[in-house]
């Protein structure tokens, strides 16, 4: 089972950098982490309308691409 608490330091670093310097400032693996970390936070907090209403929707195409990159085509199609 994934221990999400162990990912918190990574999330803090990546999220801080994304908000201070923009998504383009992140390394590819950090961009994937950022968009896939943001996605469930929004969907769990109000479904797809919450995702598309809030700032993660700005990275919609990156999120779809990240799902595909990780072999999660079904998730990409759903989004």
**pLDDT bracket for residue 11 (50, 70, 90):** very high
Say what the pTM is. Answer: 0.86
Name the H helices within the chain: 8-21, 28-43, 47-53, 60-69, 73-78
Burial (CB < 10 A; 0-12, 13-18, 19+), residue 35, is buried
- In the numeric block, the tokens 């929004």 are attached to 42
Q: Which two tokens stand for residue 25?
A: 């400032």
Q: Domain locations in the chain?
A: 27-79
Instruction: Let me know the angle formed at the C-alpha of 4 by 65 and 20, rounded to the nearest 5 degrees.
Output: 60
**pLDDT bracket for residue 3 (50, 70, 90):** confident
């Amino acid at each position: 089972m994934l221990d999400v608490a162990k990912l918190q330091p990574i999330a803090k670093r990546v999220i801080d950098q994304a908000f201070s310097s923009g998504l383009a400032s992140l390394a590819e693996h950090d961009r994937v982490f950022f968009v896939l970390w943001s996605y469930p936070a929004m969907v769990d907090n109000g479904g797809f309308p919450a995702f598309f209403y809030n700032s993660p929707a700005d990275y919609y195409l990156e999120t779809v691409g990240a799902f595909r990159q990780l072999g999660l085509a079904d998730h990409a199609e759903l989004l």
